[in-house]
Amino acid sequence: MKEDKFIGLIKNLLPESSKYIGDDTAFIEEKGLILTQDTLVEDVHFRMSTISPYDLGIKSIAVNLSDIAASGGIAEFILISLSLPESVDEDFVKRFYEGVNHICRKYDVVVVGGDLTRATKITISIAAIGFNERLQPAKRSLAKVDDVVITAGEFGSSAAGLWILESKISDISEDISKKFVKAHINPVPLLQEGRTIVKSCETPPALMDASDGLADALYKISLSSGVGMEINYDEIPVDKNLEAVAQKAGINSSKWVLYGGEDYGLVGTVPEFIYEKLLADNIPVKAIGRVLKMENCPEVLIRYNDKIVKINSNTLDSEVFSHFR
């Protein structure tokens, strides 16, 4: 995973910064600040043939709010840097910011600045600012042996939506098609769920979002925490129509579920009594496995069709979407 190598290089070159780098967000404890930044590049993260400027505005904010959700923080402010080719007209900017306004009003966050520049392709860089409000944020490195591995949200739906958009297949019902396409272009940041999970724990849990895929999130938590995991694939929450769409695509649905990415569900670990408390409080989380002691070479073991599928750095190098591939 070249991205991880680059992050390691940056941390070595900026030793004073290394304690802030490596999670979905940076936590500035003395100020109570939770900070994150994401960049979306045309033809890398999106294509204008499959998403409108309005929906692109919504999605650009949503992916950053999802990072705040994974920390358990409260999002408040947004900065937007928008780099545009000369061919982009005023209508694109108008519709993009109408989408931004829609999602910011929905989640009570405010755009407080940014930048406009020229570029060869549309590039959107968003910084989100939140606060911990007296809660220690979740981190990837806090998984403990015997914790329950939990998820919030469904997995594989975004990849199915992207396939529907790109294949332009016509023999899927309109309701099912719209549902999966919406999952891809309008991801839902689970801010309330993330906050509730962290608030319910006596000590901060391990938690991150699954923007780069469920398998990627599970492995990153394992690696950061120095533990292994055993996951029951059948317990992973998926949409009831996912398998039927995957069959039309001629693909094993597990590829979308484990490696599809852009679902923005939450993945984490909590003690069993906390999981039971979350269920009793009707928090929509699902247990999919357990944390194992595995110090030397952490990996994720997935029980799938009477087999054990191992998720490690080699698996991810071959399966997961990479910006640098």
pLDDT digits (tens, 9 = 90+) for 282-310: 999 999 999 999 978 889 999 998 899 99
> 266-270 and 206-209: which strand pairing?
antiparallel
SS3 label, residue 11? helix
pLDDT, position 322: 52
pLDDT, position 24: 83
Distance, in Å, from the CA atom of 301 to the CA atom of 102, rounded to the nearest integer, reads 41
pLDDT, position 14: 84
pLDDT, position 320: 57
Instruction: Give yes or no for residue 146 having a pLDDT over 90.
Output: yes
Distance, in Å, from the CA atom of 325 to the CA atom of 323, rounded to the nearest integer, reads 6
Cβ atoms within 10 Å, residue 312: 17
73 touches 109 (CB < 8 A): no
The confidence band for 325, taking pLDDT boundaries of 50, 70 and 90, is very low
Give the residue, 102 or 322, on which the prediction is more confident.
102
Distance, in Å, from the CA atom of 10 to the CA atom of 265, rounded to the nearest integer, reads 28
Distance, in Å, from the CA atom of 131 to the CA atom of 137, rounded to the nearest integer, reads 9
The confidence band for 2, taking pLDDT boundaries of 50, 70 and 90, is low
Distance, in Å, from the CA atom of 207 to the CA atom of 194, rounded to the nearest integer, reads 8
The confidence band for 264, taking pLDDT boundaries of 50, 70 and 90, is very high
Q: Please report where in the chains the tokens 């060869």 appear, as a residue.
A: 120
The confidence band for 240, taking pLDDT boundaries of 50, 70 and 90, is very high
Distance, in Å, from the CA atom of 20 to the CA atom of 86, rounded to the nearest integer, reads 37
The confidence band for 324, taking pLDDT boundaries of 50, 70 and 90, is very low
Q: Please report where in the chains the tokens 């891809």 appear, as a residue.
A: 184
Instruction: Give yes or no for residue 323 having a pLDDT over 80.
Output: no
Distance, in Å, from the CA atom of 247 to the CA atom of 174, rounded to the nearest integer, reads 17
Distance, in Å, from the CA atom of 237 to the CA atom of 44, rounded to the nearest integer, reads 27
Percent of the chain beyond pLDDT 70? Answer: 97
Cα four-point dihedral sign 201, 205, 210, 216: negative
Question: How much is the average pLDDT of 35-55?
Answer: 94
Instruction: Give yes or no for residue 81 having a pLDDT over 80.
Output: yes
Instruction: Give yes or no for residue 27 having a pLDDT over 90.
Output: yes
pLDDT digits (tens, 9 = 90+) for 69-78: 999 999 999 9
The overall average pLDDT reported for the chain is 93
pLDDT, position 315: 81
321 touches 261 (CB < 8 A): yes
Q: Which helix (H) or strand (E) holds 59?
A: helix 53-71
pTM to 2 decimals?
0.92
pLDDT, position 243: 97
Question: How much is the average pLDDT of 245-268?
Answer: 95
Cβ atoms within 10 Å, residue 14: 11
Task: Give the distance, in angstroms, between the CA of residue 279 and the centroid of all CA atoms in the same chain.
Answer: 22
Distance, in Å, from the CA atom of 319 to the CA atom of 121, rounded to the nearest integer, reads 27
Q: At a CB cut-off of 8 Å and minimum separation 6, what does 62 contact?
A: 103, 186, 187, 188, 189, 264
Percent of the chain beyond pLDDT 90? Answer: 83
pLDDT digits (tens, 9 = 90+) for 176-186: 999 999 999 99
109 touches 75 (CB < 8 A): yes
Half-sphere exposure of 106 (CA within 13 A, CB side): 17
Q: For the chain, list the domains and their CATH numbers.
A: 2-131 (3.30.1330.10), 140-319 (3.90.650.10)
The confidence band for 314, taking pLDDT boundaries of 50, 70 and 90, is confident
Question: How much is the average pLDDT of 18-41?
Answer: 90
Question: How much is the average pLDDT of 75-82?
Answer: 98
Distance, in Å, from the CA atom of 258 to the CA atom of 280, rounded to the nearest integer, reads 28
Instruction: Give yes or no for residue 19 having a pLDDT over 80.
Output: no
Name the residue among 265, 66, 239 with its Cα closest to residue 152: 265
